[in-house]
Amino acid sequence: MKNKKAFGKIFEAVMHAVFLLLGLVTVGCVLLITVYLVIAGLPAIRKIGIVNFVCGDTWRSTANPPSFGILPFIMTSIYGTAGAIVIGVPVGFLTAVYLAKLAKPAVRSVVSGAVSLLAGIPSVVYGLVGMLVLVPNIRRLFHIPDGSSLFAAIIVLAIMILPSIINVSVTALEAVPREYEDASLALGATPVETYFRVSVPAAKSGIAAAVVLGVGRAIGEAMAVMMVSGNAPNMPSLFQSVRFLTTAVASEMAYASGLQREALFSIALVLFLFIMLINAALNFFLKKR
């Protein structure tokens, strides 16, 4: 009996250690990635010069002499993400209001099912459909020589960020206390007035978090945009072939060597800093809620 108790205690201690260890693995991974990115990313920045690297507008990694300016990638990532937000947020936000407040249960279950499904589609499939359907149609519709462009990437990204925006916004809207809305309705406001004047302002920090989450998803996406954006390192323009921060790393990594390879790690470091900023913004909004 006593033996059993002692064994139980030891077992508890062992399991505690195991859980602690598993928890530390996660923290360790984050630390490892951060430290590795900084170590791998800094040498090239030092060799190229931070100003030349971040503000240079020409990227010719294998030219002689090479030039490593990533301003086109930074601008493209910002423009692309902004474009996706401009298109994706209104659609996602209004869908969320509809789902949370207006939709009948039957319609709601169908639409939420579709949204979940959209979230589950792998990004390479978005890219493939974009490449085979969207790109040729953009070419035809706008009478440009080639459809692979920033515009195609924005459309694909806007669709890809919809599920995150919708799901988080719906949760935020549903958390608004019923009494707020009842009070507004009792004062004579129509339901739609109530939703936009009472529910939405009450859920605004949650909705802001949804937008930030969408930004994070859009700026980090590589596969789908690589397949539709053309990947030429141009300064961003709506119907020009462009390259994002993510695709700049992904597209040249396979064959890169020497300084070119180091510079790709530096791009990853810049991207990592962007993501950290977005994460900090997300935490800020979530805490506020």
Is 106 one of the binding residues for other proteins (CB under 8 A)?
no
Nearer residue to other proteins within complex by CB, 3 or 188: 3
Under the binding rule (CB under 8 A), the answer on residue 230 touching other proteins is: yes
Residue 81 engages other proteins in binding (rule: CB under 8 A): no
Does 254 engage in binding with other proteins (CB under 8 A)?
A: yes
- Of the residues 33, 50, 94, 132, which one makes contact with other proteins according to CB under 8 A: 132
Three-class DSSP labels, the chain: CHHHHHHHHHHHHHHHHHHHHHHHHHHHHHHHHHHHHHHHHHHHHHHHCHHHHHHCCCEECCCCCCEECCHHHHHHHHHHHHHHHHHHHHHHHHHHHHHHHHCCHHHHHHHHHHHHHHHHCCHHHHHHHHHHHHHHHHHHHHCCCCCCCHHHHHHHHHHHHHHHHHHHHHHHHHCCCHHHHHHHHHCCCCHHHHHHHHHHHHCHHHHHHHHHHHHHHHHHCCHHHHHHCECCCCCCCCCCCECCHHHHHHHHHCCCCHHHHHHHHHHHHHHHHHHHHHHHHHHHHHHHC
Nearer to other proteins, 263 or 282 (CB): 263
**Is the peptide bond preceding residue 136 cis, with omega within 30 degrees of 0?**
no
List 6, 8, 23, 102, residue binding other proteins (CB under 8 A): 8
The residue among 165 and 264 lying less far from other proteins, judged by its C-beta, is 264
Q: Give the residue, chosen from 84, 85, 100, 131, that forms a contact with other proteins under the rule CB under 8 A.
A: 131
The reply on whether position 32 binds other proteins by CB under 8 A is: no
Q: Given candidates 72, 243, 244, 249, which one binds other proteins under the rule CB under 8 A? A: 243
**Does 255 contact other proteins by CB under 8 A?**
yes
Is 11 one of the binding residues for other proteins (CB under 8 A)? yes
From the list 252, 268, 269, 278, which residue makes contact with other proteins (rule: CB under 8 A)?
252
CB 262 within 8 A of CB 43: yes
Q: Is 123 in the site for other proteins (CB under 8 A)?
A: no
Cα-based distances in Å from 58 to 50, 69, 80: 14, 5, 19
Among 34, 62, 116, 283, indicate the residue that binds other proteins (CB under 8 A): 62
φ and ψ of 233, to 5 deg: -80, 60
Q: Which of positions 141-160 make contact with other proteins (CB under 8 A)?
A: 145-148
For position 104 contacting other proteins by CB under 8 A, the verdict is no
Q: Which of 226, 267, 270, 271 binds other proteins (CB under 8 A)?
A: 226
Q: Is 28 in the site for other proteins (CB under 8 A)?
A: no
Question: Which residue among 63, 106, 141, 186 contacts other proteins (CB under 8 A)?
Answer: 63
Is residue 169 a contact residue for other proteins (CB under 8 A)? no
Residues that bind other proteins (CB under 8 A): 4, 7-8, 11, 60-64, 131-132, 135-136, 139, 145-148, 226-227, 230-233, 241, 243, 250-258, 260-261
